[in-house]
Amino acid sequence: MVPFCLRTNWIRPIRVVLTLFSLPRTAYTPGVWSAVSCSFSHPFKTSHTIRPISSSFFYHQMASICMMPSSAVPHVKSRCPQYPGSNVKRFPVPDANVDWSQKWPQYSPVSYTAPSVTNKPAWADPDIGSFHPRFNCVDGNVDRTSFEGSYNVEMGKPLNPRGRTGLTGRGLLGRWGPNHAADPIVTRWKVDAKGAKVHHPVSKRPVLQFVSIKRKDCGEWAIPGGMVDPGEQISLTLQREFSEEALNSLAVLPSERAEIQERINKLFKSPGFQVYKGYVDDPRNTDNAWMETVAVNFHDESGNSVSELPLQAGDDAGQVQWVDLDSSLALYANHSHFLELVAKERKAHW
Ligand code: BGC
């Protein structure tokens, strides 16, 4: 792990570069966050910026800034003993052996790719052998670049940049290498009957609420995110997933559609606060396929934009509701970590 003093040395030059290019402000740089709180409950680095989210130039800048030794943050959920949706048990990987640089001849991971993936759905790659994807680049319509920087490819298969998971193949994930998702965090202030902000009795800070869905696949509460379709702009994925999962836009009556669409467009056009961008410690991860996401906060400050729309679960969501932000939240993957960052940024209760 890079000592804190070394990391801080490059934070200032990064800020200067961002300023020179007139890029939006960065509240936390990845290095700072990792250095001050490398713990299992927050095993992620963070790019923390208020900016419009469509600048690909900015993504590329941040992708290279975000490079960190994988050994600094051992993933945990990616080593869960039983692979989700199956009876498959991962080969146990102790913390000390997660990093690929650690020689471990006894490592004997289980190979597993779920039938839902081998059945060749449109969203999944074929098996390696008959198929030769171009890794570490945009391959046709499929973005195979990683926010973690360049990843290694061994015997034609990409290696998880955060290390061993005890399982090879793709499990439930469709793509070899990075599988890109986007997470819209839609928030509003909690108010009382008179419309005044509610403050938490202990922290004395105002309470934020976010739109949360109960995932159909695992029953856990989560941000209504989803996978980036091939060739799709992340800004569109954020808006589409929110509309489909939290407002059930796919089933809405045509008469209501225009009104809903207008409010959503307005909120998602506002400059989102990019909360996180990078690897996700997801239980579906394998040695050869893993989740990455961009989480962006869209805030309805006045409470009269999307806050007034009736929530209705759709697509991959079983239920949907506004939930108070609080440190006791136990959510899917690293979603509670994203919310903690939102609460800090907006000076809300956590
Ligand atoms: C979910 C996202 C999540 C990502 C990584 C996707 O399937 O829709 O909400 O952040 O996986 O766990």
pLDDT tens-place values along the chain, 350 residues long? 333 333 333 333 333 333 333 332 222 222 222 222 222 222 222 333 333 333 332 333 232 223 333 346 799 999 999 999 999 999 999 999 999 999 999 999 999 999 999 999 999 999 998 899 999 999 999 999 999 999 999 999 999 999 999 999 999 999 999 999 999 999 999 999 999 999 999 999 999 999 999 988 888 899 999 999 999 999 999 998 888 888 877 777 877 778 888 888 888 888 899 999 999 999 999 999 999 999 999 999 988 888 888 888 888 778 899 999 999 998 998 999 999 999 999 999 99
d(CA 350, CA 346): 10
Q: Which of 183, 276, 279 to mutate to test the pocket of ligand 1 (most atoms within 8 A of CB)?
A: 183
172 lines ligand 1 (CB under 6 A): no
d(CA 118, CA 182): 24
Cα(103) to centroid of ligand 1, in Å? 31
Ligand 1, closest atom to CA 332? 12
Instruction: Name residue, tokens 């929530």.
Output: 311
First CA to last CA distance, the chain: 29
Q: Whose CA is nearest to atom 7 of ligand 1?
A: 226
| Nearest to 291, CA basis, from 174, 184, 197, 204 | 174
d(CA 143, CA 228): 9
User: Quick check: pTM over 0.75?
Assistant: yes
